[in-house]
């Protein structure tokens, strides 16, 4: 049984928001499995109310359409990136706001490439436990371990913020000093840096603490609890959010379902923020 996201509209043409899944996990450096992320998130979304207890609004106030997962050639990162890029371009050209579900974090690069051709001024805000600032990983330039470095090449250093980061090499740490912001402790993030700016938000769900989000390939101790994370992203409600992706949910690493439930609830809040 394949689900769509909670009570999704059937009308793609008139929907302002489109949810799309990219079930790709072929460069995962530790434990693969995020290809099953989008559908498990959809399944768990049916356990949610459409009304947000945080924002006191119902997602039916928005018109959102879940177009399902895009078929991808697993094992071919180049072709996969090209398909993700073209899909994103097509959705942007039809004026959709896009929530992209991974899959692994590598999917963010072709998405950002398309967004950067459509909007030339947004700030990329990345939540992650890992810096992902490597030039290459095991010889693979488009690995999920390099995704933010590749985005910096597209956007420039001063259009990238990283939040919640607690795992990096010495080289990545040195490089991070060039970015607009790089914070392990989110309380030190200066919201003035993005005041009045358009933002794109990329959420690697391993930014959450493994005790609340064990269902991911590369868990890293010392992260956000769920409520702090939701409260933090709600602070972006005054910014124009041009797009969002959620990546690295690997459901087979969490038989309890708490990770899937957390991820689905974050998507509900994101729909209301867009």
- Binding-site residues for Mn(2+): 105, 128, 130, 132, 204, 206
CB of 244 to Mn ion, least distance (A): 16
Residue 223 or residue 243: which is nearer to Mn ion going by CB? 223
Q: Which of 69, 104, 204, 245 binds Mn ion (CB under 5 A)?
A: 204
Stretch that binds Mn ion, among 60-68, 115-123, 129-137, 154-162 (CB under 5 A): 129-137
What region, left, alpha or beta, does residue 59 occupy, with left being phi > 0 and alpha being psi -120 to 50 degrees? alpha
CB of 223 to Mn ion, least distance (A): 10
CB-based burial label for 195 (10 Å; 0-12, 13-18, 19+) = exposed
Q: Counting contacts by CB under 5 A, is residue 245 touching Mn ion?
A: no
Q: Quote the CA–CA distance of 88 and 255 in Å, as a whole number.
A: 32
Which residue ranges make up the annotated binding site? 105, 128, 130, 132, 204, 206
Both structure tokens of 215: 């269902």
Residue 50 or residue 167: which is nearer to Mn ion going by CB? 167
CB of 106 to Mn ion, least distance (A): 11
Q: Counting contacts by CB under 5 A, is residue 254 touching Mn ion?
A: no
How many Å separate Cα 201 from the centre of its chain? 7
CB of 206 to Mn ion, least distance (A): 4
Q: Counting contacts by CB under 5 A, is residue 104 touching Mn ion?
A: no
Q: Give, as one character, the DSSP assignment of residue 207.
A: G
CB of 181 to Mn ion, least distance (A): 17
Element (H, E) at 21: strand 17-22
Q: Counting contacts by CB under 5 A, is residue 66 touching Mn ion?
A: no
Residue 42 or residue 130: which is nearer to Mn ion going by CB? 130
Residue 4 or residue 223: which is nearer to Mn ion going by CB? 223
Interface size with Mn ion, residues (CB under 5 A): 5
Stretch that binds Mn ion, among 30-38, 130-138, 191-199, 255-263 (CB under 5 A): 130-138
Residue 204 or residue 254: which is nearer to Mn ion going by CB? 204
Stretch that binds Mn ion, among 69-77, 93-101, 155-163, 200-208 (CB under 5 A): 200-208
Residue 64 or residue 200: which is nearer to Mn ion going by CB? 200
* Spatial CB neighbours of 107, under 8 Å, sequence gap ≥ 6: 22, 24, 80, 84, 100, 245, 247
Contacts made by residues 80-88, CB under 8 angstroms, sequence distance 24+? 80/22, 80/24, 80/26, 80/107, 81/106, 81/109, 81/110, 81/142, 82/110, 84/22, 84/24, 84/110, 84/111, 85/110, 85/111, 85/113, 85/114, 86/114, 87/20, 88/114, 88/115
Q: Quote the CA–CA distance of 120 and 115 in Å, as a whole number.
A: 8
Q: Which of 104, 206, 209, 245 binds Mn ion (CB under 5 A)?
A: 206
Q: Which of 128, 172, 254, 269 binds Mn ion (CB under 5 A)?
A: 128
Angle between helical axes of 108-118 and 77-93 (0-180°, round to 10):
40
At 39 the three-state DSSP class reads helix
Residues that bind Mn ion in the complex, under the rule CB under 5 A: 128-130, 204, 206
């Amino acid at each position: 049984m394949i689900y769509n996201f909670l009570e999704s509209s059937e009308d793609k043409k008139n929907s302002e928001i489109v949810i799309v899944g990219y079930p790709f996990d072929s460069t995962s450096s530790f434990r693969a499995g995020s290809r099953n992320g989008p559908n498990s998130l959809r399944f768990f979304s049916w356990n949610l109310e459409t009304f947000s207890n945080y924002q006191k609004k119902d997602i039916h106030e928005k018109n959102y359409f879940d177009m399902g997962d895009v078929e991808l050639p697993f094992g071919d990162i180049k072709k996969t990136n090209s398909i993700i890029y073209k899909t994103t371009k097509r959705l942007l050209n039809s004026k959709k706001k896009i929530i992209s579900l991974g899959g692994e974090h590598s999917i963010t690069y072709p998405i950002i490439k398309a967004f950067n051709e459509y909007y030339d001024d947004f700030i990329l805000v990345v939540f992650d436990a890992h810096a992902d600032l490597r030039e290459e990983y095991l010889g693979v330039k488009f690995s999920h371990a390099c995704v933010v470095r590749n985005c910096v090449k597209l956007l420039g250093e001063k259009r990238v913020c990283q939040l919640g980061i607690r795992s990096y090499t010495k080289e990545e740490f040195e490089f991070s000093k060039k970015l607009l912001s790089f914070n392990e402790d989110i309380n030190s993030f200066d919201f003035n840096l993005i005041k009045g700016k358009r933002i794109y938000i990329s959420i690697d769900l391993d930014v959450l603490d493994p005790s609340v989000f064990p269902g991911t390939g590369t868990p890293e101790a010392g992260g956000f609890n769920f409520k702090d994370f939701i409260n933090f992203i709600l602070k972006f409600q005054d910014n124009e959010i041009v797009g969002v992706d959620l990546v690295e949910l690997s459901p087979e690493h969490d038989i309890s379902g708490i990770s899937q439930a957390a991820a689905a609830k974050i998507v509900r809040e994101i729909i209301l923020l867009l």
